[in-house]
């Protein structure tokens, strides 16, 4: 086993009294991008929300370097080393870009906070001329940069991204994809939920496909690129076509 690892084992989650994850197991490794694909309602968001402490589990485990993650608050999970980029690039709208970033750095000492914000701005220099703007005045792509920057400021070992490209223009999606690859190259393990399956399969080393609360496929991204019918089957089973991209 690798020195660092994030393991989900037999995870069962209920939402609104209904079981939505039926015993999910998966593993992430440092420096690797793992894609998590599946149709609407398959349970992708429920999985990453549970892994980040935002939803309780009925049973199972999520371990980071051997330590149990379940039962901790989202804040504590972040401190353990798991950061999440929530669906729909949520930012604090009335707050300036710089204060959005600083708010994510509260876990650090003042000096470290300044360093982490500075490092995140090196990843997204586009934000530098916009630091004093209220975040609500940013484009969707710029908001997503703020949200990814906020996650990076937490110095994560693992980054869970719920819909990297949702609602964003193709050029910005390409740019964000390159950034995600760069973050993984620095050793961060990434779980990438992405509606554009071609983008996800190009970035990812390994892939899990979810279908109605279960894992329907796991394997190498290459294998899935060679056998797109596996993916089509999973999406068609749930009545949704695969997004091209």
Ligand X SMILES: Nc1ncnc2c1ncn2[C@@H]1O[C@H](COP(=O)(O)OP(=O)(O)OP(=O)(O)O)[C@@H](O)[C@H]1O
Contacting positions for ligand X (CB under 6 A) = 15-16, 20, 38, 40-46
Q: Which does 143 bind (CB under 5 to 8 A by kind): Mg ion, ligand X, none?
A: none
**Edge-to-edge strand list for the sheet holding 67-68:** 18-28, 6-15, 59-64, 67-68
- DSSP letters for 137-155: GS-HHHHHHHHHHHHHHT-
Answer yes or no whether residue 45 interacts with Mg ion by CB under 5 A: yes
In the complex, the smallest distance separating the C-beta of residue 23 from ligand X, rounded to whole angstroms, is 15
When the beta carbons of 33 and 193 are compared against Mg ion, the nearer one is: 193
When the beta carbons of 46 and 197 are compared against ligand X, the nearer one is: 46
Handedness of CA 170, 200, 151, 88 (dihedral sign): positive
Please give the structure tokens belonging to residue 30.
């440092």
When the beta carbons of 98 and 191 are compared against Mg ion, the nearer one is: 191
Q: What is the dihedral of CA 182, 122, 187, 97, to 10 degrees?
A: -100
Neighbours of 99 (CB within 10 A): 15
In the complex, the smallest distance separating the C-beta of residue 77 from ligand X, rounded to whole angstroms, is 18
When the beta carbons of 15 and 108 are compared against ligand X, the nearer one is: 15
Q: What is the dihedral of CA 54, 50, 28, 148, to 10 degrees?
A: -30
When the beta carbons of 116 and 163 are compared against Mg ion, the nearer one is: 163
Binding segment toward Mg ion, per CB under 5 A, in 45-53, 96-104, 112-120, 181-189: 45-53
Q: Which does 81 bind (CB under 5 to 8 A by kind): Mg ion, ligand X, none?
A: none
Distance set, CA 208 to CA 9, 30, 80, 83, 134 (Å)? 14, 16, 24, 19, 37
- DSSP letters for 156-181: -SEEEEE-SSTT--HHHHHHHHHHHH
In the complex, the smallest distance separating the C-beta of residue 85 from Mg ion, rounded to whole angstroms, is 12
Binding segment toward Mg ion, per CB under 5 A, in 43-51, 70-78, 104-112, 211-219: 43-51
In the complex, the smallest distance separating the C-beta of residue 20 from ligand X, rounded to whole angstroms, is 4
Tell me the sheet residues that pair with 22: 12
Residue nearest to Mg ion (CB): 45
Please give the structure tokens belonging to residue 207.
């892939």
Contact set for Mg ion, span 217-236 (CB under 5 A): none
When the beta carbons of 13 and 153 are compared against ligand X, the nearer one is: 13
Contact set for Mg ion, span 167-186 (CB under 5 A): none
Contacts with Mg ion by CB under 5 A lie at 44-45
């Amino acid at each position: 086993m690798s020195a660092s690892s994030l393991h989900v084992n037999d995870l069962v989650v209920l939402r609104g009294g209904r079981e939505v994850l039926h015993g999910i197991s998966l593993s992430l490794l440092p420096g690797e991008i793992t894609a998590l694909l599946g149709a609407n309602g398959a349970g992708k968001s429920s999985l990453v929300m549970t892994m980040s402490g935002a939803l309780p589990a009925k049973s199972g485990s999520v371990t980071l370097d051997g330590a149990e993650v379940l039962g901790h608050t989202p804040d504590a999970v972040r401190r353990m080393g798991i950061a999440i980029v929530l669906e729909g690039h949520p930012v604090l709208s009335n707050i300036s870009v710089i204060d959005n970033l600083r708010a994510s750095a509260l876990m650090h000492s003042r000096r470290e906070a300044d360093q982490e914000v500075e490092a995140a701005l090196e990843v997204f220099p586009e934000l530098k001329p916009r630091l004093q703007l209220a975040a609500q005045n940013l484009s969707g792509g710029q908001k997503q940069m703020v949200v990814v920057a906020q996650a990076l400021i937490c110095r994560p070992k693992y980054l869970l991204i719920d819909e990297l490209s949702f609602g964003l223009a193709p050029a910005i999606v390409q740019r964000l994809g390159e950034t995600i690859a760069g973050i993984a190259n620095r050793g961060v393990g990434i779980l990438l939920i992405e509606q554009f399956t071609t983008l996800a399969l190009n970035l990812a080393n390994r892939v899990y496909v979810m279908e109605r609360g279960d894992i329907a496929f796991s394997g190498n991204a290459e294998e899935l690129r060679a056998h797109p019918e596996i993916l089509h089957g999973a999406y068609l089973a749930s009545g949704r076509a695969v997004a091209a991209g």
